[in-house]
Amino acid sequence: MNGTVTVLDKDTVRIHSYMSPADTFHTTTQLIETPARIIAIDAQLLPAYADEAVAYAKGLGKPLDRLIVTHAHPDHYNGAARFGVPVHALPQVREQIIARGDSQLPTAQVIPVTDFTPTVDLTPGTEVIDGIRFVFEAVSGGEAADELLVKLPEQGVLVAQDLVYNDVHLYLGNNDITGWQQAVDALAAKSGYHTILAGHGLPTGPEVYADVRRYLADAHELLGDDGDAYKKAIVDRYPSYVGPFIIDIANRSLFPAAG
């Protein structure tokens, strides 16, 4: 396996957090193991890494029930077809995925939009699965235009996905630092959640909110009007962070004239 899996025991729930290698900026697929099934959250950029997450899930001996896609960025949905289950997403996220169209991998392989278009509209609220309470919450603004937050209140687990990065450079292409700061403040105000699952990086705790806030504040200070200068400045400030090339991807949106 090229990726790594971190396992967290939460009484009747086990969390298996699959993290891709650094070449795809430690993107995570969360596998929530309930008493009788597995709920997958997000599907990887490269189908090969989606295959690893699926193979690991099948090794747990319980059926994959569904795949939940949290937001409309290809590193979280490209591999959706590999899971072979219904794909759930917020209606607005589904529309954003359709609007983006086919996805082209760094290898030039094209994945048709039909391979990863969500098929089930997810409604915010509470759903009880195998006696486990899942709370789904829609968040607007920040890393993406719309994102899904998943909470397991009894287990103290908050699946933040791309509202939180852990030791990975942030993607700022949505150009909404203020919205992201507000979203992180709202997460930090949610007491009782001691395990935070990041969209990029290892599972962590509430201390990660301060790290994300600090990075966003630094990005706001350094951004300026020159993408190359910004990348050098933020990498110099966070030399241990993974995925500096995610800054290049974001800069195509932040500085389109330079592209």
The string of pLDDT tens digits covering residues 43-67 is 999 999 999 999 999 999 999 999 9
- Quote the pLDDT of residue 256: 81
Mean pLDDT of the chain: 96
- Quote the pLDDT of residue 148: 98
CB distance 1 to 56 below 8 Å: yes
| Fold of the domain built from segment(s) 4-258 | Metallo-beta-lactamase; Chain A (3.60.15)
What is the helix (H) or strand (E) element at residue 84, kind and residue range? Answer: none
First to last CA, the chain: 36
Statement: residue 179 has pLDDT above 60: yes
Compute the average pLDDT of residues 26-41: 98
Statement: residue 259 has pLDDT above 60: no
d(CA 205, CA 188) in angstroms, rounded, equals 10
Quick one: pLDDT band at residue 107, thresholds 50, 70, 90? confident
Distance of CA 239 to CAs 43, 131, 201, Å?
Answer: 28, 44, 16
Any alpha helices (H) in the chain, and if so which ranges?
A: 47-58, 91-100, 177-188, 208-222, 227-237, 245-254
Token pair for residue 113?
A: 């939009």
The pairing of beta strand 13-19 with beta strand 4-10: antiparallel
Token pair for residue 221?
A: 């200070």
Quick one: pLDDT band at residue 4, thresholds 50, 70, 90? very high
d(CA 215, CA 100) in angstroms, rounded, equals 28
- Quote the pLDDT of residue 258: 53
CB distance 160 to 183 below 8 Å: no
Instruction: Please give the share of the chain, as a percent, with pLDDT higher than 90.
Output: 93
